[in-house]
């Protein structure tokens, strides 16, 4: 059994140590905000935070989070309300198909945690490794900048 914190709660998974974290989140804990995109850590749809740092959960083995804190999209909300960043995504209509949104929000939250007032260029750089195929990227950048401004 691997023990870790998931969205602030202590949990244990009986999955094999090599099982991808994304699979464990979905199968053991019904956490489905992170998406399977490429399976090769190249698209960012599966991003979660581990100890505050973005991690591609499709390739991170369960063993890599033993004793650590994992935060998913679901763990960012403020009680039952969306977080400031999540609300900015809603307000800016920053999701078209929505497949990349979870990973984009995780990556953006990690940026805002490090740099609460990023520039447009810093936001674009931070999100560069997250793919959006439907063309919502400019709205996503606006959402991140909006959340930073409203902080």
Q: From the CB of residue 19, how many other CB atoms can be counted at a distance below 10 Å?
A: 17
Q: Last residue of some domain: 75, 100, 126?
A: 75
Q: The tokens 């740099």 sit on which residue?
A: 115
Together in a domain, 45 and 69: yes
| pTM of the shown model | 0.94
Together in a domain, 117 and 91: yes
Together in a domain, 92 and 43: no
Together in a domain, 92 and 60: no
Q: On the CB side of 110, how many CA atoms lie within 13 Å of its CA?
A: 21
Condensed to tens digits (0 to 9), the pLDDT of residues 25-37 reads 999 999 999 999 9
The CATH code of the domain that includes 59 is: 3.10.20.30
Together in a domain, 110 and 139: yes
CA-to-CA distance for 54 and 51, rounded, in angstroms?
Answer: 9
- Domains: count for the chain: 2
Condensed to tens digits (0 to 9), the pLDDT of residues 83-110 reads 999 999 999 999 888 889 999 999 999 9
Percent of the chain at pLDDT > 90 equals 86
Residue by residue, what is the 3-state secondary structure of 39-62? CCCCCCCCEEEECCEEEECCCCEH
Q: Higher-confidence residue: 78 or 32?
A: 32
Q: The tokens 């991808």 sit on which residue?
A: 20
Helix (H, G, I), strand (E, B) or coil at 93: coil
Together in a domain, 92 and 63: no
The CATH code of the domain that includes 143 is: 1.10.150.120
Cβ burial of 90 (10 Å; 0-12, 13-18, 19+) is: exposed
Together in a domain, 107 and 133: yes
Expressed as residue numbers, the domain containing 68 is: 2-75
């Amino acid at each position: 059994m691997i023990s870790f914190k998931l969205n602030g709660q202590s949990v244990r998974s009986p999955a094999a140590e090599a099982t991808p974290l994304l699979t464990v989140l979905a199968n053991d804990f019904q956490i489905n905000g992170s998406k399977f995109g490429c399976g090769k850590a190249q698209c960012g749809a599966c991003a979660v935070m581990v100890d505050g740092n973005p991690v591609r959960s499709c390739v991170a083995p369960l063993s890599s989070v033993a004793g650590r804190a994992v935060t998913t999209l679901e763990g960012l909300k403020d009680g039952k309300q969306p977080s400031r960043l999540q609300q900015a995504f809603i307000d800016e209509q920053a999701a078209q198909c929505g497949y990349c949104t979870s990973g984009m929000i995780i990556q953006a939250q990690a940026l805002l945690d490090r740099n609460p007032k990023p520039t447009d260029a810093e936001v674009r750089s931070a999100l560069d490794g997250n793919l959006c195929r439907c063309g919502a990227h400019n709205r996503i950048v606006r959402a991140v900048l909006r959340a930073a401004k409203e902080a």
